[in-house]
Amino acid sequence: MSIPDSNTYLATITENLRRHWPDNRTVNIVCHGHSVPAGYFATPMVDSLSAYPHLLLTGLKQRFPFAVINVIVTAIGGENSESGAERFTEEVLCHRPDVITIDYGLNDRRMGLEKAHAAWTSMIEAGTRAGARMILLTPTHDITQLASYSGDDAAQLGEHARQICQLAHDHGVGLADSFAAFQQYREFGDLTDLLSWSNHPNRKGHELVTREVLRWFPAG
């Protein structure tokens, strides 16, 4: 398989988003993952209105003013994909989602690539069987020591990002490459511009993630 065309992958969903009442229906989008989609900024501060699930809803409503959209957050701070997979059926699929985003790359470094691969595969396959369209998110960045971004943490983050990209390719599902967006920003800015603290994005960082997700929802 390969990563699908972002202009057509969600075609049936975006077609519904463009319809007017009474010919439309509610579209449910579930954002599953760890502290970043949960809205944690400088812990314990939670700024849900500046996090990408809310910004995604705002962006979609600007593109599709007649649509009824629920963006449901099932993320838990500190969680990895193994735990997320365990509660996937009861806490994600119960919402009958049209689209599911998965974002666990930051925390999966603690469990390693092999276990992460199995957990992500489980969620992708379960979501696909349920009829949902999947969008996988590579991790945003993490600067444990603000003076530098190097060493094992940086290498592991890149390895998980590459694995997530490969999973999207292997399963033929959507990919929002947050990691690449942050890397591109580094060409003209500093990563600290995008972070509220060492491993959580600020609003500007969340806006980059939102841009990557929104490209899967073309307006026309």
- Distances, alpha carbon 119 to alpha carbons 73, 87, 111, 176, in Å: 19, 11, 11, 18
The rounded distance, in Å, linking the Cα atoms of 67 and 111 is 39
**11-214 has which CATH code?**
3.40.50.1110
pTM of the predicted protein model = 0.95
Give tens-digit pLDDT for 145-169. Answer: 434 444 455 678 999 999 999 999 9
pLDDT band at 220 (very low <50, low <70, confident <90, very high): confident
Give tens-digit pLDDT for 11-59. Answer: 999 999 999 999 999 999 999 999 999 999 999 999 999 999 999 999 9
Q: Distance from CA of residue 109 to its chain's centroid?
A: 17
Give tens-digit pLDDT for 67-105. Answer: 999 999 999 999 999 999 999 999 999 999 999 999 999
Q: Which residue has the higher pLDDT, 104 or 1?
A: 104
* Domain locations along the chain: 11-214
Least confidently predicted of 46-50, 150-154, 172-176, 184-188: 150-154
Is the pLDDT confidence value at 181 over 70?
Answer: yes
Q: For all residues of the chain together, what is the average pLDDT?
A: 94
Residue (of 185, 25, 129, 88) closest to 206 by Cα position = 185
Give tens-digit pLDDT for 101-136. Answer: 999 999 999 999 999 999 999 999 999 999 999 999
Kindly calculate the radius of gyration of the chain based on its CA atoms and give it in whole angstroms: 17
Give 186's DSSP letter: T
